[in-house]
Structure 1
């Protein structure tokens, strides 16, 4: 079951869902539109190592936009900072974004109960496409949880992405034991 617009508004009123900045026009029937932030990043090395800390370089999207290219992998970030305290948030691309050939996440579309931060986007494109800071890029949908949560994501000692703010965050896979 996905939360409706009315229910999302109720949860925002209760403080169990937080979206900043919030704009009522971005609330859909059962989702909330999020926008591309001005910061992007790329990995410095073309070959990545899952057991190593892979360095990224940050850069900003200029006012005239920036062209993204196929066979390149970009990390982006949502303009919106979100908190979700009792629901499971999912981030999906907007249909208009998909029709431009833009994928906004590789596999990381689900958040956890207790996630607080800006969403890092794993962006790839099918053909060259110019993107702009502030353009609608995706939508959040919220699912209720069945049962009690023992430890929320933001309370976990090993939560690698808790509190990420404003800039894309690289993979923290290297912090796992394997």
Structure 2
């Protein structure tokens, strides 16, 4: 639904739309006329590279105007700062401008909700056309949105003057997004592990703190060939001796992987992904958690055998924690869990994920049990603060089950929310579940 001129004026007065400076005479029946700024930018080369900054010259439109040559792109800007956090903006040339054979955008007429700044125009003409700074050149329209929105906060936010393309800044982010998939993406459990795959699926329906996966294939490609050979040799020895020299073998393996580091390209992409996650919640700390390819499976959970690292406050710490958590595949608890099942494979089958931490007042574990035709029975154990000790079996928590009524206090409200969440997860998964 498009806003009428009167609605645009109302929205400007209420702060829902930004037009600075605002002139009432530029209000149309369903748009607002914006003016051409005095600066232009033109690229210096005919070959533009999407992965590199491209050289340009900046020109100023004088009192006598400026002649646009056909077949050449000129980046211009609006005089006005335009935008807002409520409506979706689009813009187009005034019809009188279009009738001169002049385009003011080539293919990018839709703006993001949340952007506020001077808008970059892409001027392109079919004829030689003289333009003047301050002339009304285009019109902006605003549309009512449907649904919630994450407001724009990208690289062009707050632009002043014409902006050349910064698409070269996108390629690292594009590669990072493809390498480290986020919750609610389509993911392969054989590469990100069942734990992350389940969370990714549930995040479409339930509140899951935001996270992205570090797939097993990405972690393993950083293994040095010499280290891989040492690991294969150690695992062969371990198999041949039926684990009789387990501690010696464990020491050799630990020495082999002590120097494991992600390769430079992967570290750079991981840092991009971490920075983006941190920007979404600047005051939150991060956690690196395991998502082994055999964890949370139908036969066993392998709970606790791989390392998690919590409370991470900066990007470098997260990168180092990913390397530390990967090395836990070769630590004694994980080795023993595999040796007991006859698994002597030297290739790690471990994915990880980086997740926003929730700072808890209470934390714990809960699980469902069948209850005939009625709602599933839910059992909850909880402790104050983090539940590391409870999960490890060191601490004893307070218990509750749906066999008894909920307490009539704040704790009862919290337990009731947990019960509802567990039953929702069980309904979505179609089987009994346990949740930290």
Q: State the partner residue of 2:156.
A: 161
Deviation per CA, 1:96-151, whole angstroms, max 9, x where unpaired?
A: 010111100111111111011000001100010100001111000000110111x2
Superposition pairs for residues 95-174 of structure 1, below 5 Å? 95-149=95-149, 151-154=150-153, 159-165=154-160, 167-174=161-168
Deviation per CA, 1:64-99, whole angstroms, max 9, x where unpaired?
A: 101101111100001111131100000111000101
SS at match of 2:13: helix
SS at match of 1:13: helix
Query: C-alpha distance in 2, partners of 1:4/1:147?
Result: 21
Bigger CA radius of gyration = 2
SS at match of 1:91: strand
**Match status 1:5 vs 2:5:** yes
Offset of residue 45 of structure 1: 1.4
Structure with greater helix percent: 2
Query: C-alpha distance in 2, partners of 1:114/1:45?
Result: 33
**Match status 1:19 vs 2:19:** yes
Q: State the partner residue of 2:85.
A: 85
TM-score, normalised by the number of residues in structure 1 = 0.94
Offset of residue 55 of structure 1: 2.0
Deviation per CA, 1:23-74, whole angstroms, max 9, x where unpaired?
A: 0000000000001100011011121111111122111001010110111110
Structure with greater strand percent: 1
Runs of 4+ in structure 1 off by over 2 angstroms are: none
Q: Unpaired runs of 5+ in structure 1? A: none
**Match status 1:176 vs 2:170:** yes
Q: Unpaired runs of 5+ in structure 2? A: 175-436
TM-score, normalised by the number of residues in structure 2 = 0.39
**Size of the alignment, in residue pairs?**
172
